[in-house]
Amino acid sequence: MQVSDSKMQVVWEPIADLAKSVNSGSVSALELVEKSLGLIEKHKEFNSIIATTETRAKQRAMQIDSDIADGKTVGRLAGVPFVAKDNFLTFGSETTAASNILKGFEAPYQSTAIEKLEAEGAICVAKANLDAFAHGASTENSDFFTTKNPHDMSKVPGGSSGGSTASVALKLAPFALGTDTGGSIRLPASFCGVVGYKPSYGLVSRSGVVAMASSTDVIGPIASSVEDASLVLDVIAGQDPLDSTTIERCNSYTKLSAVNKPKVGIVKEYMEQGVNPKVKELIIKAADDLKSDGAEITEISIPSLPLSLAAYYIIVPAEISSNLGRYDGQRFGKSINSGDVNDLEENYSRVRQEGFGDEAKRRIMTGTYVLSSGYYDAYYKKAQLVRTKIINDLNEAFNKVDFLMGPVSPQVAWNIGEIADPLSMYLVDIMTVAASIAGLPAISIPCGTVSDMPVGLQLIAPYKQDLKLLSLADLYERRSNG
């Protein structure tokens, strides 16, 4: 299978094949990197990229090519270019998290995920745009610029990993890395029509990734196929001595085997009011497709699920307010000349005033409020209780079915600037946050279009059932492509 773009006539073979070609010497890593960099330049107008890592990428490519010429085998991702969301610490360019406060920050170390990819020969060519600090669902909260949807430049790509998903949709590189805290991989994958995978919490190390909300942040691949996403996951998954919340991995995430008569539950609460009827139709069609592949489809109700959003928007801002504390202008990123301020207090205020965007400030204030003495019990503690209930209810649901399904988003991509009210923007996450606060693996796979805009099917599996989830997604993808 080859993924091609009719407009561009550009083809990225499946990642495994690309790496094979590089390892065999039939194509050079440098050619792939140059191709990718050329496409990035060509599609600049979409604003999916903050910066390229051109010099380092080319050096790495030449090194890989010379290793191969010397007869060495480089790895499973030899020479494969990729794009990383700009909240991954990487060498070769600044790491900004699309925020003014981190502008100018050159990472002194690389995130574990990047290190693992590089160890297999992959080459990071660019850093992708995002909502600053991953706070958002459209990339409109980027402190730099808004990324445009590859399918319609007037629409948002979704967020917060919108730069990464747009890059993959534009085929700037065969895959990208994103982060998903409440839907930030799945939503933009759905809006851009690519595969976005959110692993079980802890399956991929968070070390070296700018933290948003530590208890729900996960790192995952964005690719053109489930097969590619599986291969990338297989490389980055596993315990890391630098992240004590990482969990044991399974043997292989690439051995996608047929799932035998899976029981799939359509989540009733995800198909109710507010969902675009055409989106609903596509989900039902996807269910039918799965059925003809042997799946048993039922409807399942989890009444507490809609509470996820309220719990999420208390717990996550609380963690954000804590995690953003280190951006104080004293050690890295933006700083204020001490001669320009009277005291430390003013220094802190100016750095944060000028360095954080509105959404970061909003979340810091919400989080600070819910953690304040006197409010902690009413908000944070209550939200944690709700979280526990949702986890329990989901576990119970998984006693009845093997997978849950529904849309990723009730709507397709909206116009840039259309959602101005921050609370309305929060509501966009309604169908993605439950898997996040429960730590469950979930995936967005393209399942059709509404008014020419892509729609994503969301499949959710029990905790640590990543391989099964990818297998089911692969099954679905083969049918829908076939």
Residues that bind another protein (CB under 8 A): 89, 95, 97, 102, 105, 107-109, 111, 206-211, 213-215, 241-245, 318-319, 321-322, 324-326, 328, 330-332, 338, 344, 348, 368, 371-373, 376, 380
Nearest CA to 112 out of 209, 221, 252, 230 is that of: 209
444 three-state secondary structure: strand
Query: Cβ of residue 428: shortest distance to another protein, in angstroms?
Result: 24
184 annotated active-site: yes
Q: In sequence order, which residues have a C-beta less than 8 Å from that of residue 354 and are 6 or more positions away?
A: 100, 334, 336
In terms of DSSP bridges, do strands 81-85 and 123-128 run parallel, antiparallel, or are they unpaired?
parallel
* Identified catalytic residue from 138, 184, 321, 444: 184
Residue among 120 and 328 whose Cβ is closer to another protein:
328
Residue among 373 and 399 whose Cβ is closer to another protein:
373
Query: Cβ of residue 463: shortest distance to another protein, in angstroms?
Result: 15
230 annotated active-site: no
Residue pointed to by tokens 């990818």: 470
Query: Cβ of residue 320: shortest distance to another protein, in angstroms?
Result: 11
Q: 325: how many CB neighbours lie within 10 A of its CB?
A: 10
Residue among 54 and 319 whose Cβ is closer to another protein:
319
The radius of gyration of the chain from alpha carbons, rounded to an integer in Å, stands at 21
Q: In sequence order, which residues have a C-beta less than 8 Å from that of residue 353 and are 6 or more positions away?
A: none
Residue among 209 and 470 whose Cβ is closer to another protein:
209
Q: 411: how many CB neighbours lie within 10 A of its CB?
A: 18
Query: Cβ of residue 369: shortest distance to another protein, in angstroms?
Result: 9
* Identified catalytic residue from 28, 160, 230, 308: 160
Q: What amino acid occupies position 229? A: A
Crossing angle of helices 466-481/277-292, nearest 10°? 100
Q: What amino acid occupies position 65? A: D
Q: 258: how many CB neighbours lie within 10 A of its CB?
A: 12
Residue among 278 and 362 whose Cβ is closer to another protein:
362
- Compute the half-sphere exposure of residue 8: CA atoms within 13 Å on the CB side of its CA: 18
* Identified catalytic residue from 36, 48, 58, 85: 85
Q: In sequence order, which residues have a C-beta less than 8 Å from that of residue 333 and are 6 or more positions away?
A: 101, 102, 103, 104, 105, 327, 355
Dig out the tokens for 177 from the structure. Answer: 């890395």
Residue among 7 and 331 whose Cβ is closer to another protein:
331
Query: Cβ of residue 182: shortest distance to another protein, in angstroms?
Result: 15
Nearest CA to 443 out of 404, 393, 412, 399 is that of: 404
Q: What secondary structure does DSSP assign to 253-318, as a single string?
A: SS-----SS-EEEEEGGGSSTTS-HHHHHHHHHHHHHHHHTTPEEEEE--TTTTHHHHHHHHHHHH
Burial of 214 (0-12, 13-18, 19+ CB in 10 A): middle
Query: Cβ of residue 82: shortest distance to another protein, in angstroms?
Result: 18
Residue among 117 and 445 whose Cβ is closer to another protein:
117
- State residue 121 phi and psi, 5-degree precision: 95, 0
Query: Cβ of residue 318: shortest distance to another protein, in angstroms?
Result: 6
Query: Cβ of residue 475: shortest distance to another protein, in angstroms?
Result: 35
480 annotated active-site: no
Residue among 377 and 452 whose Cβ is closer to another protein:
377
Residues annotated catalytic, as ranges:
85, 160, 184
